[in-house]
Structure 1
Amino acid sequence: MLVSIVIPTKQRPQPLRDAVQSVFRSVYQNFELFVVDQSPDDTSALMLEPFWHDPRFHYLLNRRPGFGAASSRNLGIAASRGDIIALIDDDVEVQPDWLAQIVAEFSADPELDFIAGKLTAPPYDPDSGYTPAFEAWPYLSRWHFPLHASGANFSMRRRLFDRVGGYDEFCGPGSRLRASDDTDLCWRVVRSGARYKICPHIEVVHTHGFRSHAEAETLFARYQYGNGGNFGRFTRRGDLFAGAWFLAREVKRILSTLPETLRGDRRELFYAGQRLRGFWDGFRLPPHEGFVSGEQLRRLHADARAAEVPLAIALRSSSA
């Protein structure tokens, strides 16, 4: 079973190298790896020079202004050949059995379409900052699953994109809605009825994910805004249940935090404001612009395979 691994990146050369190196150390070796780079220079590309000789390694440039990681993920998916596609972030390292466990799960269940794995934080001092993690609790409810899964460790069958479409390029880091391309995809997976599974034994480590408290607060605010933007997008595209569920949840959360707010702790109220502002901004965006349908992704895939151009040609040309 060929697994296609996609890593979007921007200006993180050393963490990226560690991520790529961890993939090549995997027990399971039938894979191809696509790094999709949005960096404005060749620093990351040159850091990956030791991997150029391996035919499984591919390097793509993505310098579309105003588009972020979701755009890079779609590009990597379109260029890949595997029936199984695994996506990780550029600041994680995969466990040696990560690929083997993914293949085992998909092999055991032909109906399984989507896996959310575990994102583990390495040891750190919580007094000095925070490292995001996802514990991958198998019994998380289907409605709360999209809000808690981490796109740093997703894998899916290619056929899933025919059912739910690709990544929404207005969502995620570097996009108009700043974050939560993973929430967007997970919600559409749940709503489609596709079979998914939360697998805590499929693990990646957030090796380079540590942030100071100030940086973590900024990240949390971005998550809240992006999550709201997701549901605004869903509602505008006609999923009225998504809008009703989100707004009812917000009313409940705001009422539950009133005592804290009256005591002067306005943190949760601030986050609620971010989510509601994101919802409105997402709702106002053109509903289908930025959204890559399954049909569009198939056309991109066919074009990429028909081109038969070495995918690392941009790197080699820039280094010539």
Structure 2
Amino acid sequence: MTAQSLPVRHIDLSTTHKDTHGGDAAAFSVFWWKDLPLGMRASLPEELPFGEAQLRQFAAEFGAAQLAARSPTLGAPLRATFEGRPKQALILAHLLGADNLVDQLDRLAAPSGMSAQDISVVICTRDRGEALAGCLKSVTTQQTPPSEIIVVDNSVDGNAKSICRRFPEIRHVHEPRPGLSVARNAGIRASCGEIIAFTDDDVELHPSWTAEVGRAFLDESIDALTGLVLPAQLDTPAQRIFQLDMGGFGTTFVPLRFDHRFLEETRPHGAHVWKIGAGANMAFRRKMFERIGLFDERLGAGAAGCSEDSELWYRMLANGGVCLYEPRAVVFHHHRRELSELRQQMRSYMRGHVAALVAQYDEFGDRGNLVRIFGQLPIYFLRTFLKGLLEGRNGRPETLTAEVAGWTAGLQFLFRSGWRRQRAPRLSAGGAGQ
């Protein structure tokens, strides 16, 4: 399936009853019920087009999963633990037979209508003007405008300023010190909103993104939010390998609640905080930063390489915080187009992942982080190698080699005592960094 371009198509099951796909090529289908994302599926040419009965079955199965996860009478949203899936499966058959499935899906898909006046949107960028322009167009055309939009320009010469001038509502902040965490912290300090939402310059937002962020934070128990990251296109082998073979940025279409219990259940083997979401689609209450600190500037692109977001989630959960994964908040990500770019990305991801595990061990003394480094990751490498060997996955050995190289490079942080003594910067209650 990775040999040719894979068109990404969006199917609204509330209105589509006949698939018009020609059936002579593979396709990647994202299913919706109006503006509610339901699921996705990669299909071979012989599996297409979908029949009318098949589309109805998709609507029933995907819809039942949504109702199972979102019904208050069933304890929604599901807790992000190993108990979530069995609980959902037990009630799936009952919901499949619901006569009012369409009505209930219409209710779930209704626009939130929430104000975004307490939301500051922060976009960090570095030398990617063309991508930034597309991102800003999607931010400035939101159905519910945020209170402010801040572009933190992490380039040396502030070259994003010319792009920002095209959008009068954008505030340009130049932060020449390199590093994504440094840039994000600059955005937090420059912002005024009680909710600070982040996205990346290689992302385009669904028109209802800010409204869905606002709806999620109506729950006062929520400290942070992550959302669904869909592929914008799957035109190149690198994009298809990342999405289909490596799972992209996640494939979950139902809301999940990540709390201290999730941390405790996964802690012995290195808490699986990377499953919470992606930095391309996340938001936080300002009070959370005041309580636990800002992004760790040792981590992230331009520093150790990655995982500054997952380390912050780890720190938040360890301090009793709660993060909601809400797939109604949708963004579309432009994956790396070239295999060389993907290999570099995977090396950076793994190097940063190991660095974050070291930082988490130093902060909280959880030995599961070391188990992850020296136990789980080598097993993952071996399993991935054997799977690629048996299935003949094109390109996967190259990305696996990059991941192993990143893991090896990440081990250096275990021996850098000065680096290990550092901690994340703080944010004062008034908003100024300390």
Same fold, judged at TM 0.5 (above): yes
- Give 3-state SS (helix, strand or coil) of 1:297's partner: coil
Could you give the per-residue CA deviations for residues 72-109 of structure 1, whole angstroms, max 9, x where no partner exists?
A: 100110111111010011111111100000101111x1
Structure 1 equivalent of residue 278 of structure 2: 150
Structure 2 equivalent of residue 75 of structure 1: 186
Asked if residue 61 in structure 1 is aligned to residue 181 in structure 2, the reply is no
Matches within 5 A, 1:138-217: 138=255, 143-146=271-274, 149-175=277-303, 177-206=304-333, 208-217=334-343
Structure 2 equivalent of residue 287 of structure 1: 420
Distance 1:241 1:174 in 2: 27
1:23 is matched with which residue: 139, 144, 156? 139
* Conserved? CA contact 2:138–2:207, under 8 Å: yes
- Give 3-state SS (helix, strand or coil) of 1:219's partner: helix
Identity of aligned residues (%): 26
Specify whether residues 271 and 42 from structure 1 end up closer, same or farther in structure 2 by C-alpha distance, changes over 3 A only: closer
Using the TM superposition, give the Cα deviation of residue 21 of structure 1 relative to its aligned residue in structure 2, in angstroms. 1.8
- Give 3-state SS (helix, strand or coil) of 1:215's partner: helix
* Conserved? CA contact 2:119–2:148, under 8 Å: yes
**Which amino acid is the alignment partner of residue 222 of structure 1?**
S
Specify whether residues 136 and 188 from structure 1 end up closer, same or farther in structure 2 by C-alpha distance, changes over 3 A only: farther
Structure 2 equivalent of residue 278 of structure 1: 410
- Give 3-state SS (helix, strand or coil) of 1:50's partner: coil
**Which amino acid is the alignment partner of residue 359 of structure 2?**
R
**Which amino acid is the alignment partner of residue 287 of structure 1?**
R
Distance 1:242 1:161 in 2: 25
Moved more, 92-101 or 22-31: 22-31
**Which amino acid is the alignment partner of residue 164 of structure 1?**
I
Using the TM superposition, give the Cα deviation of residue 251 of structure 1 relative to its aligned residue in structure 2, in angstroms. 5.0
Moved more, 113-122 or 129-138: 129-138
Structure 2 equivalent of residue 307 of structure 1: none
Matches within 5 A, 1:108-119: 109-119=219-229
Could you give the per-residue CA deviations for residues 145-193 of structure 1, whole angstroms, max 9, x where no partner exists?
A: 4256210011111111133321011111111x12222222222223223
Structure 1 equivalent of residue 354 of structure 2: 228
- Give 3-state SS (helix, strand or coil) of 2:155's partner: coil
- Give 3-state SS (helix, strand or coil) of 1:71's partner: helix
- Give 3-state SS (helix, strand or coil) of 2:419's partner: coil
Using the TM superposition, give the Cα deviation of residue 274 of structure 1 relative to its aligned residue in structure 2, in angstroms. 2.6
Could you give the per-residue CA deviations for residues 245-284 of structure 1, whole angstroms, max 9, x where no partner exists?
A: 4233235435646857999x69647634532531432562
RMSD, matched Cα: 3.0
Distance 1:19 1:157 in 2: 23
> Aligned residue pairs: how many?
293
Gap runs ≥5 in structure 2: 1-116, 264-270, 391-396
Asked if residue 135 in structure 1 is aligned to residue 250 in structure 2, the reply is yes
Q: Say which one has the larger Rg.
A: 2
Could you give the per-residue CA deviations for residues 216-244 of structure 1, whole angstroms, max 9, x where no partner exists?
A: 11211110111001111222334333433
